[in-house]
Amino acid sequence: MENSRKALDLKNQLDNLRPIDKEQEERIMQKFRLDWNYHSNHLEGNSLTYGETKALILFGVTAQGKPLQDHFEITGHNEAINWVIDVVKGDYPLNENFIRELHTLLLKESYEVDAITPDGKPTKKRINVGRYKTSPNHVKTKTGEIFYFATPEETPSKMTDLINWYREKSEQKDVNPIFLAAEFHYKFIRIHPFDDGNGRTARILMNFILMKFDYPPVIIKTEDKANYFAVLQLADAGNIEAFIEYVSQNLVRSLEIMIAGAKGESIEEEDDLDKEIALLEQKINKTNYKEYIKKQDIIGDLFDAIIMKLILRFQSRISKFSKLYSETNFLISLDNNEFDSIEKFNEFYKDYKFNHLDNILELSFLFVKLKKEEIAINFLSEIQIRFKESYYFIDIGNQNEFKFSYSDNLKEFDINNIVDKEVKRHKEFIEQKIAEKENK
């Protein structure tokens, strides 16, 4: 295997250059992390461009017109990578708990996706984070054949076997880390233990193994997607060597980048300029884009299509916590006009004139005194919407901010995600208070 041998030689060269200057190593790892986040998610259909991914990770800037779920995928993936980069420095074992924790960081929260029943009818499927699959996730190939992964019943034992196999192989004196990481990736994919996120999880686990042995991460580029899937299919047909060699080929590129960085040379790749050109092209196009100017009819359309749905969803979901408290107060305020019911607000906003900047809509649910507690424990659940000249902002519990153009079309899935973030914050607050009391 030519690329495998080349990777081993380059690893020796890299070891001779260690220790690498701390600032230089952080710069190298930032490049790997940005590329890793973009390509691994884009392989799975994420719509954010490289520039949008970079802006989101480095500056927290969301991309207008792109689904919120795509932003959540990037930020979750980045959190998972950062966690792996941190724990790889210690003696953190690769076991099933590690994998489930990684999957939870990656996908963040459980959600529903469209699915098809065995008899061909549309349905909804619940994706549970950090838990093994509860229904089959076999796929249909281009030829119409069914490719079978492990069944839900087989998955726990197969995952135990995989961890045992890894532990035995990794402890051998003559272990080849490249072979070990690539084969672990493949074996994990053949099980497909989760309802979603298996590909991203497999690539992170592969890189965790490589980094445990002081290799840089492998980046499978989105433009090479066809070759990546082709060698996985060859492995399915019994040719695992083709997949190992493919991983080695990509590892060679990462090693060459890290060696160049360690020497203080440029770590830019040939296609990095293409990414920057594309980013500049986006900026040029935006300067020619006719911005939506905030007018009464635009705001009205926005309320009918999106804002009212958000208000209804917020009131419906958040009110479920009421049974845990002695008193609750629901309030909608728009520029100092306050309403204690959706019906009253609905009548008011239709005739309201948005004729100045900085209109603010606030949804708040105040929960007073958690029941069965000796002291008053209150919680304020809120979402704030700020309307500007060409954009509007949604702030969730003073923790997350999203920016949207008036032309953006938020889907019901996006609205649910916004509200569910506030639901999660409230749940975590109550759980914290319970834990504090139990520890006293």
Q: Report, in this order, helix, strand and coil percent for the chain, each rounded to 5.
A: 55, 15, 30
Please, is 244 exposed, middle or buried when counting C-beta atoms within 10 Å of its C-beta (0-12, 13-18, 19+)? buried
Question: Residue 265 in contact with residue 273, Cβ under 8 Å?
Answer: no
d(CA 431, CA 434): 5
In this structure, are residues 350 and 344 in contact, taking their beta carbons and an 8 Å threshold? no
Residue 256: predicted pLDDT = 95
CB within 8 Å of 349: residues ≥ 6 apart: 303, 334
Q: Which CATH architecture has domain 2-280?
A: Orthogonal Bundle (1.10)
Work out the average pLDDT over 325-352.
86
Distance from C-alpha of 269 to C-alpha of 311, rounded to nearest angstrom: 47
Sequence ranges of the domains in the chain:
2-280, 296-439
pLDDT exceeds cutoff 70 at 432: yes
Phi and psi torsions of 139, nearest 5°: -125, 155
- Model confidence pLDDT, tens digit, residues 406-417: 777 677 777 888
User: Whole-model pTM above 0.95?
Assistant: no
Surface-to-core class of residue 368, CB atoms within 10 Å of its CB (0-12 exposed, 13-18 middle, 19+ buried) = middle
- Residues 392, 358 contacting (CB under 8 angstroms): no
Which amino acid, residue 309? K
Is the model more confident about 402 or about 380?
A: 380
Largest CA distance in the chain: 77
CB 279 within 8 A of CB 290: no
Q: Residue 423 above 70 pLDDT?
A: yes
201 Cβ contact list (under 8 Å, min separation 6): 99, 102, 103, 106, 188, 194
Identify the residue whose tokens are 């200057």.
21
The single-letter DSSP state of residue 21 is: P
Pairwise CA distance, residues 398 & 416, whole Å: 18
Angle between helices 68-87 and 50-59 (to 10 degrees): 60
Name the pLDDT band for 300 (thresholds 50, 70, 90). Answer: low
pLDDT tens-digit profile of 22-45? 999 999 999 999 999 999 999 999
pLDDT at 380: 92
Q: Token pair of 403, please?
A: 């920016």
313: left (phi over 0), alpha (psi -120 to 50) or beta: alpha
The set of residues, in sequence order, having a beta carbon less than 8 Å from that of 66 and lying 6+ positions away, is: 47, 48, 52
Res 217 pLDDT > 50: yes
DSSP helix/strand/coil, 136: coil
132-191 pLDDT per residue, tens: 998 888 887 777 778 889 999 999 999 999 999 999 999 999 999 999 999 999 999 999
Cα distance between residue 48 and residue 66, in whole Å: 7
